[in-house]
Amino acid sequence: MTLEVMESKFWAIATQDIECYVIDNNGFVLISKNYNNAGRFFGEIDGSVMTTLIRMGMFKRVSLFDYQAMCKMNSHFVSSARPLLSPFYGLASVLKWFLSNFLLMFVVQQIPESNLLMLVVQADCDCSRQYPRITMEPKEVKYIL
């Protein structure tokens, strides 16, 4: 199947309820119904689905740090507030887990004999408040010495 045939099938999808993507093994979009998404990192398009794919083990989060000319010092703080709040943290994590199972539906399938994934996502659910977009932008980490 050629690229032109696959693109024509994606662009012919009439329903607005789903978004279809072909992504590579690094998480970059190769083909999308919205052709402006091609070449972008999928985590920037839909952070909730990318976070779920990372949790499922389909992708791995890689963090790179530049430690040039940096000396890190460990500081220890003692506080008794954490043990007092521990039941609330447990309850909050159980509620978050329970509610996260009902947020967004998607289907992922590996394309045979390739390193590509076919991803179909429910388009009418905006989960960006709970799961922010995963950007590729560098972040500066400041250490106070």
CATH class of 7-62+81-122: alpha beta
Q: Which residue, among 57, 42, 45, has the nearest Cα to 128 in the 3D structure?
A: 45
User: Residue 10 class from Cβ within 10 Å (0-12 exposed, 13-18 middle, 19+ buried)?
Assistant: middle
Domain regions of the chain by residue span: 7-62+81-122
Q: What is the pLDDT along the chain (145 residues), one digit of tens a residue?
A: 676 777 777 666 656 677 888 899 999 998 887 878 889 999 888 888 888 888 888 888 888 777 776 666 666 666 656 555 667 777 777 777 666 655 557 778 787 888 888 777 776 666 666 666 777 777 777 766 6
pTM above 0.75, yes or no: no
